[in-house]
Structure 1
Amino acid sequence: MATGDDLRRLALALPGTTEAPHFDRTAFKVARIYVTLSADRASANFKLTPEEQELKCLTAPDAFSPIPNAWGRQGWTTGTLAALSEAELESALRIAWQASQPRKGRR
């Protein structure tokens, strides 16, 4: 069972990650935000591709669900931390982190 403390520790261990407030959540970003932690620290929203979102939601429906709005259709996915092992959390973080790297040719 993963926790908000696990998410923070694992996210900040990824190169270039910074932490900042984001509305009522805590955001972790490199070039762009790739995950936000809820205020109650029970869930997180991950920036996945729609394909990665579909796979996560199919293989672990108790842990992952699309955000039910336009953000969700872009791949933003809610993860229930208590339903994730630390390894599953780390995998989701790495996928989201990788997709949020600076684009080549842009500053």
Structure 2
Amino acid sequence: MSFAETNEQPHFEKTSFRVGKKIFATYDSKNNRACIKLSIPNQDIFCLYDKSIIFPVPNKWGKQGWTFIDLSKIKKQLFTDALTLAYGEVAPKKLTNLIKSKEKK
């Protein structure tokens, strides 16, 4: 929720995190798992870490960049990096530029 203009809404049996109406992440509390939207190149890179922890959704959604993350096993900084990229996939450019300027400081 620390990303600009992010809101939390129900999404079926999960919680979604959105910028405007676009979802960049969901949280499944029952399975302690997140699902985030990455570009295909970023998905490929993050999945190299450990495919038992971070992996494409096993269907057509995965081929569009949707990626599962096991929250009980992932390192906090790796999750933060992946979530930041997911936000950047759907947020307007003016908002992603805010993140980039904070990273430079």
- TM-score range with shorter-chain normalisation? 0.7 to 0.9
Query: Unaligned 5+ residue runs, structure 2?
Result: 95-105
Which of the two has greater strand per residue?
2
How many residue pairs match? The answer is: 93
- What is the CA deviation profile of residues 55-78 of structure 1, one whole-angstrom value per residue up to 9, with x for unaligned ones? 111123232011011100000000
Q: Report percent identity of matched pairs.
A: 33
Query: Within 5 A, what are the aligned runs for 1:1-107?
Result: 12-31=1-20, 32-40=22-30, 42-102=32-92
Q: CA RMSD in A?
A: 1.5
Q: Contact 1:28 / 1:36 at 8 angstroms: preserved in 2?
A: yes
Moved over 6 A (4+): none
CA distance in 2, matches of 1:60, 1:15: 30
**TM-score, normalised by the number of residues in structure 2:** 0.81
- Greater relative CO, 1 or 2 (CA 8 Å, sep 6+): 1
Q: Contact 1:48 / 1:95 at 8 angstroms: preserved in 2?
A: yes
- The one-letter code sitting in structure 2 at the alignment partner of 1:90 is T
Query: Unaligned 5+ residue runs, structure 1?
Result: 1-11
